[in-house]
Structure 1
């Protein structure tokens, strides 16, 4: 693989080529590359380098955030440059949601990347050494921990995509010189000069002042990010062991959690709340989870809402619920009385789950098949005589004994005919009630999901 690019600096070019060849050994041989091109100097240089090193194995994508009147023209510029290099190009317009503009634009951009990435295709981005240093500074000022200060990885393998940043060890000065020598054309985004935005402020206001005092700051901060990545890898090993000991992605055992040191508790809760999201919660949010939920009174039913999830405690466990699951009671609790008319092997979809009517050793009489059965919501105060048990007892007590979570109890429904209770549908299955309709060789609804 011999380069046709002129050598603006033989040492830099040799180091870059050697680094790239070493890095691609991590990829499967069939890997191809999707280059994120904004039209700026960094991404356009990367486009030229990749087209030289990996012809026929690359595509480019330009994301039009539609935030500036000329953004479509920039997309055409990128498309034209790709055509000159025989590189296929995608131009994708996206809608940026309201909120923090930089954060929402990034979310829209990565959603578009994920939309177009093929199997075995690597997303290649043009972040360089100064980008890395700026990221570290901004995260430090926002109060980030080890995970945030690890900043960007050169090879970032995620659940849905793999990101490669081959320019991450290259300085902006080197990029400018190389681009000038190769006569790489690019556009200038005026927002990059607008110090209203944090990164532009960091680059144009803070950076010159710090660099004047610390000339080697860029390299030092880049080195710090690599050290933080090492620390993060070690921390992740500890976190994974702690998670295995304490629970799963949706629940934690508070007794096991209490055995950990305060620092390990805090780190585990932070990583657990993050889940598959990009960012961890703030330090203050983790503290709120500790004080408002975990340390609350056992009967307080406290809940914390963060990032579309609700966190709440039940007995000695901490649960992470989706907003849809937690708020379902408000949406489902007023369902009117229903009528069921069942046959054997018929599937039933109700609040507590999906059931199928099947024959059983002891069950409901076959005479009930095809008849109209009433299905009503539990109101509270009901009593049930469970088949095989002596006497009737409060349904509430049976629910507590079965450890049905409070946020699932609104799904409990009572099956009856002519005011005779036949049984109760619960998230843990159908409970057969003692009645004149019980018989050997009858049938029961069985929970399948």
Structure 2
């Protein structure tokens, strides 16, 4: 089977040129090219554009180029108040990723070029974007299981236009590109001509600035990651250690930590607020897109919220909580009725023997349960153990795990010391992860 590479193709000048150039190169290398076209349904000309691309790919294939077409029509619509640009971009990338994987490739080429990069830098600057925004578009990115490549970021718009003329390529003109309601169009139509007239090297200079911003961003992430390693663990960000950093590094470390929590977006305004508010005392919460940040006993934790994986659908009947489970090996064991999962990890010591977990019971707290926090330590009630360990209420949710009537595991506390295995036994550590 031949290797496959995909090219996102709208039918416009740039993507037509990239598809043609890729198909020519692929023929020499024995590869197959699949053109990915998304029918957004936003323009009255969308059907004609699709027909054009179908005919073009067919003609190129008849001429010996190894190209075929995959298409997808979007069935969703932007919600009231949504940015049409943002909705179309998000839906387009989702459709492109799905088509690429169906075609048998995890690589998609995008036709963004030097002018696009310069425009993106300017737009981000005008929106007050930080280093991440000014980094504009990377040449290579990995998300949604796809490697997205922009091989022409170093190519000028004029060079692409020259390629189109040389090869007499026919392409469509999207009428929406003349709609000045869209910010990129306003920049392209009203600002760019004057800018380049005054500064002929603007395109190259702005792209150079974006590359500097990308380098700065990589350095900031590296420094922030090291700071987070010292200030945080799997239970959250330790605020006393975080507060010892200087002001700029506190902000940077907070951004890096937040980005690792799976949140959809954290506005800069919230990061600035948190820098000052986190130093307060007592419990506090902050709502963010995709969850809630909670301060408790000097630690900041992130709790997934509406839209997170495993969240019960609003208005749906609650699912009955599972009462039994068999754990036979390391892995994740989803428990939708408890709105979370048990994670079993193989260890050489400090775990529960695997034999204990073949038939376990899952129970709600009833009161009166006794837990031993360590070898030689006294049995105490769960309430006292939670208080002593500083476990907040939201980390106490989840099932108590029993085996043969013996309490084995408690969310937020871990394994009962009475079940810890002996050296040489196959052992697992357990951890509860809530989906809510």
TM-score, normalised to structure 1's length? 0.71
8 Å CA contact 1:377, 1:411 repeated in 2: no
Q: Counterparts of 1:175 and 1:251 in 2: how far apart (Å)? A: 49
8 Å CA contact 1:250, 1:321 repeated in 2: no
Alpha carbons of 1:243 and 1:386: their partners in 2 closer, same or farther (altered >3 Å)? Answer: closer
Task: Map 1:358-369; keep pairs closer than 5 Å.
Answer: none
SS of alignment partner, residue 184 of structure 2: helix
Task: Map 1:1-400; keep pairs closer than 5 Å.
Answer: 32-55=4-27, 56-86=31-61, 87-94=67-74, 95-98=76-79, 99-118=82-101, 121-158=106-143, 160-247=145-232, 251-275=236-260, 281-292=266-277, 294-297=278-281, 299-300=282-283, 302-323=284-305, 351=338, 396-400=383-387
The structural deviation recorded for 1:92 is 1.0
Alpha carbons of 1:96 and 1:48: their partners in 2 closer, same or farther (altered >3 Å)? Answer: same
Q: Counterparts of 2:376 and 2:44 in 1: how far apart (Å)? A: 74
8 Å CA contact 1:312, 1:320 repeated in 2: yes
Deviates more, 1:54-63 or 1:422-431: 422-431
The structural deviation recorded for 1:139 is 0.5
Alpha carbons of 1:142 and 1:338: their partners in 2 closer, same or farther (altered >3 Å)? Answer: closer
Which string of whole-angstrom CA distances, capped at 9 and with x for unpartnered residues, describes residues 122-163 of structure 1? 211111111001000011111111121111122334573222
Structure 1 residue aligned with 2:394? 407
Q: CA RMSD in A?
A: 4.4
Q: Counterparts of 1:273 and 1:279 in 2: how far apart (Å)? A: 10
SS of alignment partner, residue 108 of structure 2: strand
Alpha carbons of 1:375 and 1:236: their partners in 2 closer, same or farther (altered >3 Å)? Answer: closer
Q: Counterparts of 1:204 and 1:374 in 2: how far apart (Å)? A: 64
SS of alignment partner, residue 88 of structure 1: strand
8 Å CA contact 1:252, 1:319 repeated in 2: yes
Which string of whole-angstrom CA distances, capped at 9 and with x for unpartnered residues, describes residues 363-387 of structure 1? 9xxxxxxxxx996666xxx666668
Alpha carbons of 1:204 and 1:374: their partners in 2 closer, same or farther (altered >3 Å)? Answer: closer
8 Å CA contact 1:310, 1:326 repeated in 2: no
Q: Counterparts of 1:40 and 1:276 in 2: how far apart (Å)? A: 38
TM-score, normalised to structure 2's length? 0.73
Alpha carbons of 1:96 and 1:266: their partners in 2 closer, same or farther (altered >3 Å)? Answer: farther
Which string of whole-angstrom CA distances, capped at 9 and with x for unpartnered residues, describes residues 34-65 of structure 1? 10001111111111111112223321100111
Unpaired stretches in structure 1, ≥5 consecutive residues: 1-29, 364-372, 416-420, 433-445
Q: Counterparts of 1:228 and 1:263 in 2: how far apart (Å)? A: 17
Unpaired stretches in structure 2, ≥5 consecutive residues: 62-66, 344-351, 418-427, 432-436
Q: Counterparts of 2:77 and 2:99 in 1: how far apart (Å)? A: 18
SS of alignment partner, residue 208 of structure 2: helix
The structural deviation recorded for 1:337 is 12
Q: Counterparts of 2:149 and 2:379 in 1: how far apart (Å)? A: 65
Q: Counterparts of 1:392 and 1:121 in 2: how far apart (Å)? A: 54
8 Å CA contact 1:310, 1:323 repeated in 2: yes
SS of alignment partner, residue 204 of structure 1: helix
Alpha carbons of 1:42 and 1:205: their partners in 2 closer, same or farther (altered >3 Å)? Answer: same
SS of alignment partner, residue 396 of structure 2: helix
**Considering only CA atoms, is the larger Rg found in Structure 1 or Structure 2?**
1
Structure 2 residue aligned with 1:14? none
8 Å CA contact 2:261, 2:302 repeated in 1: no
SS of alignment partner, residue 404 of structure 1: coil
The structural deviation recorded for 1:447 is 9.2
Alpha carbons of 1:309 and 1:384: their partners in 2 closer, same or farther (altered >3 Å)? Answer: closer
